[in-house]
Structure 1
Amino acid sequence: MLLDATACYTALRARDSRFDGCFFVGVASTGIYCRPVCRARTPKAENCSFYVSAAAAEAAGFRPCLRCRPELAPGLARVDAERRLARLAALRMESDGLSDGTISDMADSLGITGRHLRRVFTGEYGVPPVAWLQTQRLLAAKQLLTETTLPIMQVAMNTGFGSVRRLNSLFRTRYGCNPTDFRKNVEARHDPAEPMTLLLGYRPPLAWETLLKFLNERAIPGVEYVDASRYLRTVSITHKGATHRGWISVSHRPARNVMEVTLSPSLYKVINRVLARVRFLFDLNCMPDDIAEKLGTMQIGGERVFEPGLRLPGCFDPFEMATRVVLGQQITVRAARTLAMRIATHLGEPLETPFRGLSVTFPTVERICSLERPIEDLLGPLGVVGARARSIRALAEAMRQGIIRLEPGADPEREMVRMAALPGFGPWTVQYLAMRALGWPDAFPHTDYGVKRALMGLSSKEMLALAQGWSPWRSYATLSLWNHLA
């Protein structure tokens, strides 16, 4: 495995945990080697050399850093997976607040005991998982108390406290006040039967029009709708055995560097899950300056193609997006939208909304898995060829059984290997899903028709060599190529 020094140094400066374990950096001025997530001051580029393993760094004469402890790095280091387990647990708690389970349930899903999870989590974050989760729930409750007029009881239930008494107790202990203190400046009462609006911040700049255009071109009619300034969609989220269906609208407020998320009253009980999915869909955790530093000079035919503030569009519903990707194999984006619309119309659930463009929720994994007839018999009359219909069914079964996890925080390399084992999942499909369903910043679907057109005249080997210079942000480079064609 060859490492590109410029790409590795870019990842080192960003301290992006997604590259932890992919390489190690030897620092000539100190004689030590570190992980790319080390919190020490970033060394000068001329003092850095990069290695694919800890053993290679030590063979070059470097000793391990006592601060970042290379022995704990995941991935290629393969010495200790404890840090990876702790981070994965934190990501899962951040995304859904463990509203459908407990710490012990999460430990079981990770294949470890609750005691081991508490030990590794405390070692990584300095607190046990239950204390970390309480902080996340308190912050979520504070946002709802500050930005909404939901009853205190509903705030407590939505954020996982279970009772107002528990919420009050923790607010007094942690913040020295009562939850109602955050309501003193609320001038008007919110009608619980009316839509509610909350805010999500981001780091500027943000290329909103480009992002909206990308989503508009791929929006499934009836499920998604994009107008001149907003993204709207239907929502179906299962929570504690109950399915909550409704709609959301997302607008941009550049003067405040926030996204404005409006949701229907039917989604109030899953507000935090909705916000987490919106944050992932619009890549709001992005560090635009780090990406611009690497891709700002990216050129095709002598013309610069990178747009500052470019975001990597994720997805709101991983199965919905993955189905559209499978349908889009070897056909146009518009044709794939049409097929996805037919599937939503025939197998989805009708939904009344105040918007003409939203009328149905996309069928869930459970809905596809419960089909009694062969799926090719159901999708064939809609224009879906048998091989792709069977691929959709195989994906649904793998997601239902937990064999494949398409969500933020999943291990991209592992999930990509598992997806490649599914029927009909070739390199393009796997790389595209790594970009949008897993949020992997360094995917590069070099077999994509648009990429080939943008890099016309280059062989596959030459394209891969060129793209190496865009690493570790090749997903953003791919978007830039697509935008350049448009």
Structure 2
Amino acid sequence: MVDEEAVYAAMRSRDPRFDGWFYVAVTTTGIYCRPSCPAVMPSRRNVRLFPTAAAAQVNGYRACKRCRPDAAPGSPEWNARGDLVARAMRLIADGLVDREGVAGLAARLGYSERHLHRLLTAEVGAGPQALARAQRAQTARTLLECTGLPVSDVAFAAGFASIRQFNDTIRQVYATTPTRLRQATRPDHLPHTPGVIASRLPYRPPMDVPALLRRLGRDAVPGIEEYTEGTYRRSLLLPHGTGVVALRHVPSAAYVACEIHLEDVRDLTAAVRRCRRLLDLDADQRAIDAFLGADPVLGPLVAARPGLRVPGHPDPAELAVRTVLSRRVPAERARARLAGLVATHGRPLTTPVGQVTHTFPDLPALICWARRPAHDPGPAAPVPPAPYGFGPRCAEGRGAGAAERRRTLPALVEALAEGEVVLDAGADPREVRAGLLRLPGLGPRAASLVLMRAFGDPDVFIPDLAVRRALHRTRARPSRWSPWGSYATQHLWAVGSP
């Protein structure tokens, strides 16, 4: 836990930076809140601190109706760590316990259920079942507020095993019934489109949301992504079906507006988690900007672009394939190559949204495609000589052309299919990096990019050509930017970008 003096200082100043890092429970009221809750400041002797909302609920406290602590941004700690607890927290957030139970979570991590429960309880104050239960309650609240689903359907869509379990959980967490919760927050006249869920994704300011959405739009692959009029859309392959998310900036608000189109509403938890990872919404940006802003080289860049986030990715396997296909070719040609792959082997959406018509090919389709003798569309465009002596070989090694892609792509998809390389929320980043580097033709830059964008590693520094040029001009030492190397890389990449 954080220092108690810092806790009470944050409570007195209503500082939202600490929301999601810890939760404040008041013994006299039986309520737990965010540190920034606008309610009357409780007496210090009546305050208990918990590391997670689930821990407060396990100890008998219910969520405050004013500050909604269960909807606070998540802790950035789980992105910065790669140990067992962090991997378990990421898998639980992705809904694995709802789909496969605690036994499935333990098997995925390679530990016994008892050992996993003991570790989680010691560190975050609640076991995997309690953590998943708190998440199901929040998902149910979103469905009650934002959809017209019957209450019984909401229960099973949120992951509850029975109506009774659903009702008991809502009463304990929110001190009301599901029907009253819906009536209090969703008027009957509110318009609703079947299959569409409108949600808010909170974050810790500052955050340059328009810049991040534009960045994602510049790399958008036709068919699976679209950026138009400030809204970014993309398709998702989810555990129970497909989905499309539309993300939009809301000025003067600390959240991103999210519209989710789902084939199966049971995928809501997974879709929200992928969106949060895509937009890096759980970062403690003030701490990052303060650290990098004090550096003489990065200080002016941070001041010019405060709140610059690391763009994530909802599907690590897709990102790995896209990285290989985009090597040593112009951006437009890479997007055209990927668009052709999507149109030929992607899964068509039942209901397209805008120009988003397909999902990225799943693993079986990628295996069939990669095994074709002529899967590569053609030789890569010639790469002009680079100034400062930093050519293509410096970053990735030799022969990064069409012949190398013909070796790398089949090896990558075969490794994913056989489990030699595991790319999901519960993977150990060190094992991911080692597995990727064992593949022929896949060098450190590609492996680092997957860790940075797909796993949210905050301390990945990629010394590619653009970064090397910036380092040559500034004579900076990247080692002093740790543990925020990923954000330093973004600022160096942003030099000269629109």
What TM-score range do you get, normalising by the shorter chain? Answer: 0.7 to 0.9
- The aligned residue for residue 199 of structure 2 is 198
- Cα distance, 1:313 vs. partner? 0.5
RMSD, aligned CA: 3.0
CA distance in 2, matches of 1:475, 1:330: 22
Q: Distance in 2 between matches of 1:108 and 1:477?
A: 37
Q: Cα 1:321–1:301, aligned 2, differ >3 Å: closer, same or farther?
A: closer
Counterpart in the other structure of 1:142:
141
What amino acid is aligned across from residue 203 of structure 2 in structure 1?
Answer: Y
For residues 453 and 333 of structure 1, do their structure 2 counterparts lie closer, same or farther at Cα, with a shift above 3 Å needed?
farther
SS in 2 for 1:428: helix
The 8 Å contact of residues 296 and 308 in structure 1, kept in 2 or not, is answered as no
- Equivalent-residue separation in structure 2 for 1:208 and 1:191 (angstroms): 26
- C-alpha displacement at 1:298, in angstroms? 4.9
Pairwise CA distance, 1:481: 1.0
How big is each residue's C-alpha offset from its partner over 1:428-485, in whole Å with a ceiling of 9 and x where there is no partner?
1111111111111111111x12212333468xxx66xx11121111111111111113
Aligned to 2:88: 89
Query: What secondary structure is seen at the aligned counterpart in 1 of 2:198?
Result: strand
Structure 2 counterpart of 1:220: 221
Cα deviation, 1:210-269, whole Å, max 9, x if unaligned, reads 212211221111111112311011222233xxxx12422111113221111112252523
Alignment of 1:295 onto 2:292:
yes
CA contact (8 A) 1:148 1:190 kept: no
| Corresponding letter in the other structure for 1:205 | P
The aligned amino acid for 1:438 is: F
Consecutive unaligned residues in structure 2, runs of 5 or more = 1-16, 22-50, 52-77, 381-400
> Would the aligned equivalents of 2:224 and 2:234 in 1 still touch at CA under 8 Å?
yes
Distance 1:100 1:390, change over 3 A: farther
After superposition, residues 398-477 of structure 1 pair within 5 angstroms as 398-408=415-425, 410-446=427-463, 448-456=464-472, 466-477=477-488
1:233 aligned onto 2:244: no
Alignment of 1:181-192 (within 5 A): 181-185=180-184, 186-187=186-187, 188=189, 191=192
SS of match in other structure, 2:257: strand
Give 2:404's aligned residue. 387
Letter in 2 for 1:342: G
Query: CA–CA distance in 2 between the matches of 1:417 and 1:189?
Result: 51
Kindly state the Cα deviation for residue 271 of structure 1 after the two structures are TM-superposed.
1.1
Query: What is aligned with 2:254?
Result: 257
Query: Aligned equivalents of 1:84 and 1:302: distance in 2?
Result: 32
CA change 1:404–1:158 in 2 (3 A) is: farther
Shift of 1:408: 4.1
Aligned ranges for residues 239-318 of structure 1 at < 5 Å?
A: 239=240, 244-298=241-295, 304=301, 307-318=305-316
Q: Which residue of 1 aligns with 2:120?
A: 121
Matched residues in 1 for 2:486 and 2:324: separation? 19
Q: 1:3 corresponds to which residue?
A: none
Shift of 1:191: 4.5
Aligned length: 400
One-letter amino acid of the counterpart of residue 471, structure 1: S
With 146-155 and 214-223 compared, the bigger mean Cα shift is at 146-155
CA displacement at 1:157 relative to structure 2: 1.7
Give 5+ residue unaligned stretches, structure 1.
1-12, 18-38, 40-73, 75-80
The alpha-carbon distance between structure 1 residues 455 and 485, as it changes in their structure 2 partners (threshold 3 A), is farther
What is the correspondence of 1:32-181 to structure 2 with a 5 Å cutoff? 84-181=83-180
Question: How big is the shift at 1:168?
Answer: 0.8
1:478 and 2:474 are equivalent in the alignment: no
Question: In 1, Cα distance between the equivalents of 2:140 and 2:152?
Answer: 11
SS of 1:225 mapped into structure 2: strand
TM score, norm. by length of structure 2: 0.73
Contact 2:235 2:356 in 1 (8 A): yes
1:149-191 per-residue CA deviation (whole Å, 9 max, x = no partner) reads 3222222122210222220122234443211121113223655
Q: Secondary structure at the match of 2:457?
A: coil
C-alpha separation in 1, matches of 2:379 and 2:272: 33
Structure 2 counterpart of 1:46: none
- Residue 126 of structure 1: CA displacement? 3.2
Separation in 1, partners of 2:244, 2:260: 6
Q: How far did 1:417 drift?
A: 1.5
| Percent of aligned pairs with the same amino acid | 31
The one-letter amino acid paired with 1:182 is L
CA contact under 8 A between 2:289 and 2:302: conserved in structure 1? no
CA–CA distance in 1 between the matches of 2:430 and 2:270?
25
Matched position secondary structure for 1:219: coil
Q: Secondary structure at the match of 1:199?
A: strand
Moved more, 426-435 or 266-275: 266-275
Task: Provide the secondary structure at the position in 1 that maps to 2:222.
Answer: coil
In the TM superposition, residue 197 of structure 1 has moved relative to its aligned partner by 0.9
Distance of 1:225 and 1:137 partners within structure 2: 31
Q: 2:360 aligns with which of 359, 362, 372?
A: 362
Deviation at 1:274, TM superposition (A): 0.7
Deviation at 1:401, TM superposition (A): 3.5
Amino acid at match of 2:275: V
Q: Distance in 1 between matches of 2:83 and 2:299?
A: 42
TM-score (norm 1): 0.75
